[in-house]
Amino acid sequence: MTGTIAALLLVVLVLEVKHFLCDYPLQTAYQLNNKGTYGHPGGLIHAGVHALGTSAAFLVITPTPAVGAAILAAEFVVHYHIDWSKDHVMRVNKWTAKDNPFWWTIGIDQLLHHLTYLAIAAALVAWR
C-alpha cells in the first residue's frame, strides 16, 4: 500500500469517527430538535461542530490554509443543508419511525454525509 492510499484511508477513518461523535454523543437535544428550522442556531451549531471536527483530518494530511478553509466552509454548508433537508422533508410529510419513507430519508441523509467525507478525503489528497 502506498503512503497516499494509507493517508486517504486514515482520513476517511478520522472523518467516520468524527461523524459518529458529532451526530450522536456530541449532538444535543437543542441541535436535534431545531435542525429542521432554516437558520435556527441549533442547526448552525450542529453544522459548526461537524466542521470543527473535520479539521481533525488535517492532522493526517495538512492542506494549505486556503484549501483547509474551503473544505471547512464547504463541510459546514453541505452538512447544514443535508440535515435541514432531511428534517424538513420528514416534518412536511409527517413521517415517523413507523413509516418506510422515514427510514429511506435517514438512509439518504447518511449516504450524503459519507459521500461528502469521500469528497473531503479526495480533496485533501489532490490539493495537498
Q: What is the pLDDT of residues 30-51, one digit of tens each?
A: 999 999 999 999 999 999 999 9
> For the chain, what is the domain count?
1
User: Which residue range forms the structural domain that includes residue 82?
Assistant: 3-126
Nearest to 51 by CA among 16, 22, 76, 34: 76
pTM of the full predicted structure?
A: 0.95
pLDDT at 127: 86
Q: Average of pLDDT values for 43-71?
A: 97
99: which DSSP letter?
S
pLDDT at 93: 98
Cβ(71)–Cβ(124) under 8 Å?
yes
Rounded CA separation 92/113 (Å): 22
pLDDT at 43: 98
Q: Is the pLDDT of residue 123 over 90?
A: yes
Query: Which tens digit of pLDDT belongs to each residue from 80-104?
Result: 999 999 999 999 999 999 999 999 9
Q: Is the pLDDT of residue 116 over 80?
A: yes
The distance of Cα 43 from the centroid of its chain, to the nearest Å, equals 12
Q: Is the pLDDT of residue 128 over 80?
A: no
